[in-house]
Structure 1
Amino acid sequence: MNQPFHSLGVAPNAWTVNHAIADITRPQKTPQPAILSTETKTLRLDLAKATIIVIDMQNDFCHPDGWLSHIGVDVTPARQPIAPLQNLLPQLRGAGVPVIWLNWGNRPDLLNISAGLHHVYNPTGEGVGLGHPLPTNGAKVLMAGSWAAAVVEELQQLPEDILVDKYRMSGFWDTPLDSILRNLGKTTLFFAGVNADQCVMTTLCDANFLGYDCILVKDCTATTSPDYCWLATLYNVKQCFGFVTDSQAILTALNQNLQRHD
């Protein structure tokens, strides 16, 4: 009598097993080829191997009552990705491209945060730093589960989306992001969020160093830093670390892919 097989793991990094056999061939997902225009080259990519990582679109960085605004930073630029992301993310989900929300979300005890990281957010030691309550509403700065660390209400998070907390500017340090991407079989990463020259750029660089293909989505990314930081980020991504495109080019690629399958 044949024994039924059961699935273990997350596709495509999954086995099927029964009492006698472990099938470790890991059947691949059906390819979804697409053509994407970027600022330097036309890319042929596989949407089945793609995901978008949305970085730090959180109240502390993007809301007028958040931490950045509290220390005197104009958060208007950080809000610019909201509208294009509202348009792009549903289309990516519809094409089977997962959405990963990569946010600062510190432990309540801050045991994995060094003095140097504290200094970035509280350089005098007398201000409102990591884990401190915001004067406006008492939410704790970048604390997992707090209003301060939550994604801005204008961007909808769905149950099928993937949430990863980070504790450094790079989302690959001390997090499960790399393991999640490898289990899902994702090799092409779209990057969006804030700040382009800090958390987005360092995460993108580490992704490149780890062998991922990196694509910065220009209109879904922004920074509150001076304009030269933005220009240097675009230059370095195109020169060294990947490609730069925009949401309209991605939507065009998705529509062309959909038409081929109709």
Structure 2
Amino acid sequence: MTRNTWTLSPDHADLRRPERPARPLTIPAAPQRLTLDLARTALLVIDLQNDFCHPDGWLSGIGVDTTPTTSAVTGVREFLPVLRAADVPIVWVNWGNRPDRANLPPGVLHVYDPAGADTGIGSPATTSSTAVLQEDSWGAAIVDELDSATTDIHIDKYRMSGFVDTALDSVLRNLRVDTLLFAGVNVDQCVLATLMDAANLGYDVVLLTDAAATTSPAYCLDATIYNVRQCFGFTATASDLADAMAEHSPAQ
């Protein structure tokens, strides 16, 4: 990975990493105005997958209204080209369960399946006839409205948090990023769990409220925004970030 490399020759190892000139950008945020360094920033897009967002997906099939996820999909779709043009890494963090579910404990299998009726994570319960959120399945695929570039990075996760039992932290360390922008669904569940772990690991965290959504009641969103600002980091909007990037060249 070019961001984290040595220069080697047969008789010399130069341990200096490539220099990355700072690219500061100041944006409106809460609880206060925020300056971040685009050279040390990555976007984490969480769970914008068919089983969560598509009308034929798992959640819709068990009676959950998935229409609120549309705003997150739209916000991310409009923001991706801006970040790619600025060479900000895009990291997709999505459920991608093993077919045998061997690493999923009962507490995870219980999610949305409180009666043990085999309608939860990993169950064959979608209209696509694939196991719920199973790796390489239609249900686990990113929704069609979003494009994944060859330069993007994909991380399969198996818990609410994208950091547990995954390579996410190692990937981010190799990218040499300090600040993580968060988008996706559900903001009060997997997005928040991943954001909290990131903050606990020492990353700076920024929740993009217009690129994140939830199918939970509105008070769950309100509580999430409050807790992010109060305990973990900052909230901002993708639109404000895009506007600021348009006004100031990332190379400056």
- For the criterion TM > 0.5, the same-fold answer is yes
Query: By how many angstroms is 1:135 displaced?
Result: 4.8
CA distance in 1, matches of 2:190, 2:250: 36
Q: Is contact 2:97-2:133 (8 Å) kept?
A: yes
1:131 matched to 2:122? The reply is yes
Give the C-alpha shift of residue 127 in structure 1: 3.4
* Partner SS for 1:163: strand
| Unaligned runs of at least 5 residues, structure 2 | none
Question: What's the offset of the Cα at 1:221?
Answer: 0.3
Aligned to 2:10: 19
Among candidates 219, 222, 225, match of residue 216 of structure 2: 225
| Pick aligned residue for 1:99 from 90, 94, 115 | 90
Match of 2:28 in 1: 37
Give distance in 2, aligned partners of 1:144 and 1:254. 35
Counterpart for residue 175 of structure 1: 166
Let me know the Cα RMSD of the aligned residues.
1.3
Q: How many residues get paired? A: 252
Task: State whether residues 181 and 207 of structure 2, in contact with CA within 8 Å, keep that contact through their aligned partners in structure 1.
Answer: yes
Matches within 5 A, 1:43-192: 43-192=34-183
Q: Which moved more, 1:72-81 or 1:23-32?
A: 23-32
Alignment-derived partner of residue 6 in structure 1? none
Measure the CA separation in 2 of the matches of 1:43 and 1:135: 42
Q: TM-score scaled to structure 1, two decimals?
A: 0.93
Alpha carbons 2:8, 2:14 under 8 Å: kept: yes
Structure-2 change in CA distance of 1:142 and 1:11 (3 Å): same
Following the alignment from structure 2 to structure 1, what is the Cα–Cα distance between the partners of residues 143 and 188? Answer: 20
Q: Do residues 205 (structure 1) and 159 (structure 2) align? A: no
Residue 190 of structure 1: SS of its match in structure 2? strand
Q: What is the aligned-residue identity percentage?
A: 50
Q: TM-score, normalised by structure 2?
A: 0.96
Q: Distance in 1 between matches of 2:240 and 2:164?
A: 31
Where 1:235 maps in the other structure, the secondary structure is helix
Three-state SS of the structure 2 residue aligned to 1:14 is coil
Paired residue secondary structure (2:240): helix
Q: Deviations over 1:92-119 (max 9, x none)?
A: 1001111111000011111110011111
1:259 Cα deviation from its structure 2 partner = 7.9
Contact 2:183–2:208, Cα closer than 8 Å, also in 1:
yes
> What is the CA–CA distance in structure 1 between the aligned matches of 2:112 and 2:134, rounded to whole Å?
13
Matched position secondary structure for 1:51: strand
- Asked if residue 245 in structure 1 is aligned to residue 236 in structure 2, the reply is yes
After TM superposition, give the deviation of residue 256 of structure 1 in Å.
2.6
Contact 1:32 / 1:257 at 8 angstroms: preserved in 2? Answer: no
| Contact map agreement 1:170 1:206 (CA 8 A) in 2 | yes
Contact 2:163 2:169 in 1 (8 A): yes
